[in-house]
Amino acid sequence: MRRRLLFTLLALCPIAAWAADTTKAQPELPKERLTIVVRDGAEHVFNVEMALTPAQQEVGEMFRPGVPPDGGMLFDWGIPRESSMWMRNTIASLDMIFINADGTIRSIAENAVPGSLATISSRGPVKATLEVAAGTAARLNIRVGDVVKQRIFGNAK
């Protein structure tokens, strides 16, 4: 009876179905267009990988040697929640941009340290987190309050 209950629970809660392999980089994820509109009206277009599943989100940018200047990875959390990221097994430095449900930037963590286990917090509930190459926020003058346009925020062209 106990064994049957265990198998039933495993069938109903297929944790293994989304468990990520965190020992190597994941294959490139499907990409979508994302635009960041900064205060002066300039628009910066990115072609970002979409991390939508728990397994994709768990691996993220781990083990990748770099991020293209116009690339990155967008983590869609579904509903707004606190986003806590880290740099475990991440060898490229990143900027992390935390985005509210309406597409406005809530906070930015610049130049995250590769391999660090320190928690990087969104400092409040966000709909998504965008990882881009370190230095991107400074280079493009991206600041808190700027707007990210992408289909998940319902504001894409």
Per-residue tens of pLDDT for the chain, all 157 residues: 433 333 333 344 433 334 566 677 888 999 999 999 999 999 999 999 999 999 999 989 898 999 999 999 999 999 999 999 999 999 999 999 999 999 999 999 999 999 999 999 999 999 999 999 999 999 999 999 999 999 999 999 7
Residues 6+ apart with CB under 8 A from 15: none
Give one DSSP letter per residue of 36-90, joined into a string.
EE-TTS-EEEEEEEEE-SHHHHHHTTTT-S---TT--EEEEEEEEEEEEE--TT-
CA-closest candidate to residue 154, choices 111, 101, 114: 101
DSSP 10: H
Asked if residue 122 is part of any domain, the answer here is: yes
Number of domains the chain is built from: 1
Q: What is the CATH number of the domain that holds 121?
A: 2.60.120.1140
Q: Is 110 exposed, middle or buried (0-12, 13-18, 19+ CB in 10 A)?
A: middle
Q: What residue numbers bound the domain in which 54 lies?
A: 27-153
Return the structure tokens found at 126. Answer: 């966000």
Asked if residue 125 is part of any domain, the answer here is: yes
pTM of structure: 0.85
The confidence score (pLDDT) of residue 25 equals 82
Asked if residue 5 is part of any domain, the answer here is: no
CA-closest candidate to residue 148, choices 110, 82, 97, 75: 97
